[in-house]
Amino acid sequence: MMNSAHEGPGARVRVEPDGRSFACAPGQTLLAAALAAGIDLPYECASGSCGTCRGQLAAGEVGSLWPDAPGLSERDRRKGDRILCCQSIPQGDCVIKLRAGDERVHTPPAPLGATVRSVRTLNPDVIHLVLEAQQPVDFLPGQFMLFALGAGIGRRAYSMANVAQGTGQLEFLIKRKPGGAASRFFFEQIKPGDWLDLEGPYGRAWLRHESQRDVVLLAGGSGLAPIWSIAQGALARSPQGPLRLYFGVNRAQDLFWLAEMEQAQQRHSNLQIDLVLMNPAPGDPVVCRAGTAGSALAADIDDLQSCDLYMAGPPGLIDNAMRELVATGRARADRVFYDRFC
């Protein structure tokens, strides 16, 4: 049975069919608790939208942080026992049915408090937010945090733009969504000294450090955040290895992070960055290609089979790239890692 969320008393949860079990602390989601116990539940957005963490509640009761989350379809809701592990808080001992994976959980997500150090406007619709967590935070390049933004907004995912360096510093690139609830908070209210509640790290589209393959990166809009983190990780891993980054936005005035990109290219001659505009205009101040980041990549590199491809940004960008590159066999599905900003 599923209700709207309350803290819950804490619980023991068993996963079927593999039989492993884990403890869930009061207020903890099934996903956070399973990952904390090293159990690799399937997930993607961790925020209720994609449906990847959907399971069946075979026994017990859960509350939901977001009862209307679109990750459950109407059909799922009619079945009555379908739940999203990223939104569900047990109200007592439970049994859930879903297929857990066997990937190692590198750093289990945990609650985390952080202070706003700075908020810098990069263009009218993008900010660079720097936070200082109370303790050092470990995460892999490409991972994200959930921001608990309170009643009326809920939780939102934002990807780190920096790499972990044994400190509490977390950097984010946040894009305004017109009319968006979190966007209003970030663009109209937040200021240095404010306190934020986060949970993380989450995310599966992290840099595969052990891979020796060339890396190709594709970012749309604020998808640059995790891609920039991965670029830094890849440059640290293979300072001489070829690294191509395609960054697409709509118009020239939507570009940001240009000075940081230029500095990185000066330091690393192996880093090639292509800026791509969907709607270029005569007299644009920056040299850019026309089209989408995905189409520019597809035009340049015919065979991506021997590369690792990382992508982040709007769902359309990812879906098009998957159609153009993976469905056509030009890239191998097991070497493509992405975050859809849904």
Ligand X SMILES: Cc1cc2nc3c(=O)[nH]c(=O)nc-3n(C[C@H](O)[C@H](O)[C@H](O)COP(=O)(O)OP(=O)(O)OC[C@H]3O[C@@H](n4cnc5c(N)ncnc54)[C@H](O)[C@@H]3O)c2cc1C
Binding residues (CB under 6 A) for ligand FES: these are 43-46, 48-53, 71, 84, 86
Q: Which stretch binds ligand X (CB under 6 A): 33-41, 171-179, 211-219, 241-249?
A: 171-179
Give the x-and-dash track for 209-238 against ligand X (CB under 6 A): -------------x--x-------------
- Determine contact, residues 194/316, Cβ cutoff 8 Å: no
Residues 105-164 close enough to bind ligand X by CB under 6 A? 144, 154-159
Nearer of residues 51 and 233 to ligand FES, judged by Cβ = 51
- Determine contact, residues 118/35, Cβ cutoff 8 Å: no
Confirm or reject binding of residue 173 to ligand X (CB under 6 A): yes
CA–CA separation, 27 and 240 (whole Å) = 46
Residue 78, φ and ψ in degrees, nearest 5: -65, -30
Q: Which stretch binds ligand X (CB under 6 A): 5-13, 17-25, 34-42, 181-189?
A: 181-189
Please work out, in degrees rounded to the nearest 5, the angle formed at the alpha carbon of residue 128 by the alpha carbons of 123 and 133: 165
Among the listed residues 8, 13, 35, 49, the single contact to ligand X using CB under 6 A: 49
Nearer of residues 44 and 125 to ligand FES, judged by Cβ = 44
What pairs with residue 24 in β-bridges?
11
Residue 326 Cβ, how far from ligand X at the closest point, in Å? Answer: 19
Among the listed residues 34, 182, 249, 318, the single contact to ligand X using CB under 6 A: 182
Select from ligand FES, ligand X, none the partner in contact with residue 171, using the beta carbon and a kind-dependent cut-off of 5 to 8 Å: none
CA–CA separation, 205 and 223 (whole Å) = 12
Residue 205 Cβ, how far from ligand FES at the closest point, in Å? Answer: 13
Residue 73 Cβ, how far from ligand FES at the closest point, in Å? Answer: 11
Q: How far is CA 294 from the centre of its chain?
A: 19
Confirm or reject binding of residue 181 to ligand X (CB under 6 A): yes
What pairs with residue 64 in β-bridges?
4, 88
Confirm or reject binding of residue 29 to ligand X (CB under 6 A): no
* Neighbour tally for 166: CB within 10 Å: 8
Confirm or reject binding of residue 183 to ligand X (CB under 6 A): yes
Q: What are the start-end ranges of the E strands in 164-212?
A: 169-175, 195-202
Select from ligand FES, ligand X, none the partner in contact with residue 339, using the beta carbon and a kind-dependent cut-off of 5 to 8 Å: ligand X
- Determine contact, residues 88/30, Cβ cutoff 8 Å: yes
The secondary structure of 59-123 as a DSSP string is: ES-EEESSTT-TTS-HHHHHHS-EEETTTEEESS-EEEE---B----SS--EEEEEEEEEEEEEE
Residue 268 Cβ, how far from ligand X at the closest point, in Å? Answer: 23
Binding residues vs ligand X (CB under 6 A): 45, 47-49, 66, 144, 154-159, 172-175, 177, 180-183, 222, 225, 339, 341-342
